[in-house]
Structures are given as C-alpha cells and as structure tokens.
Amino acid sequence: KAGVTQTPRYLIKTRGQQVTLSCSPISGHRSVSWYQQTPGQGLQFLFEYFSETQRNKGNFPGRFSGRQFSNSRSEMNVSTLELGDSALYLCASSSTLTDTQYFGPGTRLTVL
C-alpha cells in the first residue's frame, strides 16, 4: 500500500496570507490527524477527523481549520498567517482496527 502523502512538501508564505495543506491517507484508513511540529513545542495536536467528522480538536486558535472529504482525504487551512506558524505540519492516518498513527513526510511551512 502507498503511504500517507502530503502536498506540498515545502511552502513559503508571508504574514497575513492563508495556506491550504493537503493529506491523502493510506487506502482504507478513515481517520486523519494533523500535528504541528516545532523545535520548541514538539508535536502539538491540531485536530482529528473520522468519516468526515471532527472527532477531536487541539488548543489552536480558530485560524486553524480542517476538513475531511468522503474519500478520507483531508485538508487543513491556516488563515492570516503569523511568523509563529512556521513549522512542520504532519498528517497521520490510522485504521479502525488499530490506533497506530502512520505519518506522512510533512509540509514544511515558512512564514516570512
């Protein structure tokens, strides 16, 4: 099976812009989670989707939003970008049988 894919892999934006990141889970996986990884804060949970419904949400401002489509692909959107949003954004998918998170390679977002 193909692994989790994320696009784009790298992104450079300026403050105030918005960005949309995409994640395609492993075939058959219905759960998709998003994480923000920074050197100082480690892996911070953003949100988790299951069958197009947000199941859990982390402690991020409303500028961070996401959605999941019927084919389980997921997108996250960050509006009004701030310098502090520069990070590696990781997507992970899991099946209904196990709780194992399969991570994608991430999208490296740089906000200038």
Partner 1 sequence: GQQVMQIPQYQHVQEGEDFTTYCNSSTTLSNIQWYKQRPGGHPVFLIQLVKSGEVKKQKRLTFQFGEAKKNSSLHITATQTTDVGTYFCAGRGGGTSYGKLTFGQGTILTVHP
CB nearer to partner 1: pick between 70 and 98: 98
Binding test (CB under 8 A) with partner 1, winner from 9, 15, 55, 63? 55
| Binding pattern for the stretch 86-105 against partner 1, x by CB under 8 A and - elsewhere | ----x-x-----xxxxxxxx
Identify any residues that bridge with 35 across adjacent strands, giving them in sequence order. 45, 90
Q: How far apart are the C-alpha atoms of 103 and 62, rounded to whole Å?
A: 24
CA distance 94 to 31: 5
What is the C-alpha separation between 85 and 38, in angstroms, rounded? 9
56 near partner 1, rule: CB under 8 A: yes
- 60 belongs to the binding site for partner 1 (CB under 8 A): no
CB of 9 to partner 1, least distance (A): 11
